[in-house]
Amino acid sequence: MVEVRANESWHSSWFHLLLLLLLAAAASSCHGEKKQVLPLRELQLGDIKTSEKCLPQRSRRVNGATILEMKHQSYCSWSTKSREDRAWKLLALDNARVSSLQSQINDAAMSYSAEKPSSSPPPAGAQIPLNSGAKLQTMNYIVTIQLGGKQMTVMVDTGSDLTWVQCKPCRSCYTQEDPLFDPAASPSYQPIPCNSSMCDSLQMATGVSGACGADQPSCNYALSYRDGSYTNGVLARDRIDLAAVPVRGFVFGCGESNQGMFGGTSGLMGLGRSPLSLVSQTIPEFGGVFSYCLPTREFDSSGSLILGNDYSVYKNSTPVVYTRMITDPQQASFYFLNLTGISIGGTALRSSTQFNTQVLIDSGTVITRLVPSVYKTLRDEFLRHFSGYPPAPGYSILDTCFDLAGYKEVDVPTIRFTFDGDAEVDVDVNGVLYFAKPDASQVCLAFASLSYEEEIGIIGNYQQKNLRVVYDTVGSKVGFAEETCGYS
């Protein structure tokens, strides 16, 4: 009898212990860390030879939307380079782009504060064009359009306004895959005259006024970038076709002298906010709305650029959440947002710098930049959640790296941005860690610090992977939704 009671007591104790363990596991699931699994062996980050030709990208018209296939610029610009060579160059050029953007914003702010209330243009020292990441050969993305009936593969940049292509007669041009655009072969081509409203709009779109003279009946533009790249030519009109949608009288730059690191593309598509941007010029066709879902890999994946406000063509797996655009009169073409919070693995960051801070969302910057105090807090909290892995040396602009060569997969804490209006956006697991080496022996946190607290944070395209990012310029809002990016 004693033995039976002892067994009952033993079973009862184990039952209560098992119950406690189950309750603890449930509590951990409900209140513990939020993580995503990153399968290292499936990434296949070895050296890849790019296509010999920058083949045209596909496009189609669905319902009320135009869908253009997007690919990474590396598809056109690099032949055979090691993964390590590409990674180092991308980050070095990305840092140059960020420095240039910060200088533009700072110079514009000083010019704006020094101005008297008037409509006079800013002083010459502040006439710096809105830089395109294209000139820096960073992680930009390409699409194919038709201009004057000819196919042109161009880079997409939300940080630029003027769309331009290389044109005949070309006094000095870089090598491109497509034939040069020939104005003489297009019956719909028309140069923009001087002293016209479109010529005057160059000032807002580029920071530099159109050039006119007694012997120049046409409006000439000249854009010089800080790295030495430039495009000079004639402002003109012609018909462009975006999938099956014709846009007649589209204003663009016909570049007759162009140099820089533009890869094998024909030029650039400007998706900024000024009247000269493609977005503004196509409001009658697309309502001032565009969105993209960026390719997750450099060579073997596609994304999509969708023009129009027919949201039924999106393939998002979560609802679109919106936050308002911040209009900055100093930099009216940029897309600014209010970042109100960041969390790591479900833990909200606490920083000496209060959140509710202005950031720039940019398709041409690679790595997200944060002011020093916020970055340090993010890094320290990430290390608290991502602990136990062997450290590796810092890499270029990235100072927090790990040796993950011996792992098949790792649990990565979820990083969440919160924007004005309680719009919560989770960074995809593929956008948290940057692979400096293909064998995963040097994998780094894909965030970097700015130099000063006064600078503007930038949400880079590496953290926009597998997201449908919607720009509604008429409604003055930006939306985010999770989506597995592709073209089909």
CA dist., res. 229 & res. 164, Å (int): 14
**Annotated catalytic residue within 94, 107, 157, 428:** 157
- Residue 479 DSSP one-character state: E
Indicate if 157 belongs to the active site.
Answer: yes
Measure Cα distances from 462 to 295, 365, 410 in Å: 10, 8, 19
258 Cβ contact list (under 8 Å, min separation 6): 166, 170, 172, 173, 174, 230, 231, 232, 233, 267
Rounded to 5 degrees, φ, ψ at 377 are -65, -45
DSSP 438-477: TTSSSEEESEEE-S-TTSPEEE-GGGGTTEEEEEETTTTE
CA dist., res. 476 & res. 282, Å (int): 16
CA dist., res. 248 & res. 238, Å (int): 6
**Annotated catalytic residue within 107, 178, 362, 472:** 362
Nearest to 169 by CA among 153, 151, 152, 185: 185
Indicate if 362 belongs to the active site.
Answer: yes
| Residues 133/219, Cβ–Cβ less than 8 Å | no
Q: Which residue has the tokens 């860690």?
A: 433
Alpha carbon 250 to its chain's center: 25
C-alpha atoms less than 13 angstroms from C-alpha of 137 in its C-beta half-sphere: 21
CA dist., res. 308 & res. 155, Å (int): 19
- Residue 456 DSSP one-character state: P
- Residue 88 DSSP one-character state: H
C-alpha atoms less than 13 angstroms from C-alpha of 45 in its C-beta half-sphere: 22
Q: Which residue has the tokens 């919607």?
A: 470
First to last CA, the chain: 72
Q: Which residue has the tokens 């000095």?
A: 172
| Residues 444/394, Cβ–Cβ less than 8 Å | yes
Active-site residue list:
157, 362
